[in-house]
Structure 1
Amino acid sequence: MFWCVLTAGLAVLAGAVSAQERRASHCIALAEAAPGIEYLHQASWQDPLPDSASVRIHYIDHASFLIQTAGGLNVVTDFTGFLGTAPLIPDVVTMNHAHGTHWTEFPDPAIPHVLRGWGAFGEGIDHHLDLDEMLIRNVSTDIRSGSGVEPNGNSIFVFEVAGLCIGHLGHLHHVPTPAQFAALGRLDVVMAAVDGGTTLPLPDMLEVLGRLRSSVVIPMHWFGEVTLERFLSRIGESYAIERVKGPELVVSLRSLPDRPTVYVLRPAFLAAAP
């Protein structure tokens, strides 16, 4: 299997357009592992990325992440309408609607691409957004709705960039079916809700992560240190744990760890340059 390094470029201008060609990923067709993987340094979301084959992931809050590419794309997951004090207009936002902390009814009209993770009740939605440098697609899953279920009401979004497959599980409420796992393919990096209650029970989330076999797991949707530590104590039996001091991680095809690793990021809203 290929290992990729995630990178992002400095881009605070609205509607940044990437001129780079996307490096083919291996989400579906797996390849052999690449040697010589190294962990890259952390940097501010406003700093240039180390090279064109890297991507930066910045944990903003709750289930929102900023994914930045070397070509200047800015993508925000589970966008709520607030990123912080930085004057950033993302190129793409994704949203899920299980709760108001995962979407906004009024996204800024200046955002070029607003991808909702749901469609008409029970019908789901299909996205396949090709931005040259990045391909964004989704796999629909069910969510709880009142006393019942809304079929296809959640989306797992997959971001194929720099040869990497990065997945955001959204507000996942059930273990994906074999067909859904097949549609996801191999995820090198996955953002996973670890609250153990409002999304998946912890044993089920551990089963999902085991099936995905991602080399980098980033916990999200944790409600305090007790919730986070409960997850880490369970997954630490089979994963390495890296506690990153800040909100950001930069990786590349060469820098994914040899052993599956949980990277604990500390969320921080985006601040304007001083």
Structure 2
Amino acid sequence: MSRELTRLYRALAADSDPRALPDPDQVRRRADRRARYRATLGALAVAVLVAGTAVGAQFVLAAGPGTPPGPPAATPTPGLSTPPSSGPPSPSRSTPTPSGTPAAPTTSARPPATTPTSIPDRAFVTLPAANDAGTGSQFVPGPVLPDLCGATPGEAQIATRRARTVAFKLAGAPAESVPDGSYRQSVTVYRAGRADDALRELRQAVRDCPEQPLPDAQGGTVAQRLLAGTGYGDESVLFETRTPYRDVNGDPTGGDEVHLVRAVRIGDVVTVLWEQGWEGTSTDRPQFEADSRRATEAVRRWLG
């Protein structure tokens, strides 16, 4: 054996000899401490796991079936209120009124009808062929009512107006005969809701003007009075004008020349049928009533 190797063996023996091995009881106590330490750590981990499971189960039960668990509710702050949900209200649910009584559900309102801005020819009366005088009709400016002591009923509320004049014959009149009368018919559109005011003003104007001098300065007079004759349109006004017959000198000859005027309202539209006669003739009442119905229906068809 070499000298170096011998030296190394001596150093190893000197290092290991002073360290004595522990006895068996000491080794057993160290092992028992390690086992108790590991058991304590395991029990603590199990307790933590059980506590976490219990808390999670409480959240699930509080949220109800089918609802994912959410965070716990925050404690409300005194003096502050939580605003209600801003989701869209149910269409069938009514809104409470200040008195607590539920109001009726809101429904979409029907759009209001528009006021006509023009009046077509079809809004005027069409006479039967038996009453056609063959003279045609004329849309010309001029008065649409007899003079009523200067009154102008409804004029301030007019939206638009047209008027025409047409002659007619009574049924059965010879073809070559002159007309038996003539109509001055007007169709007037009033501002919304004001046509009834126009008829009220017309009634009052007739009452306020029972008689007035003739415009031709012949010394005669013309009388006006309201007549019964409803049942046309939404409402109507019927009145007459009455003038004594006179000769060329202005002297009464007996009898009166009578003309009828009827105003019929349909909504915001008023049509006036004024029978003006022909060379001194008076109004034929049956013909006038029939043509009043035709004039009313013409406006109804136009307005739809």
**Is TM (by shorter chain) over 0.5?**
no
**Greater per-residue strand proportion:** 1
- Structure of greater Rg: 2
Q: Which bracket does the TM-score occupy, shorter chain normalised? A: under 0.3
**Greater per-residue helix proportion:** 2
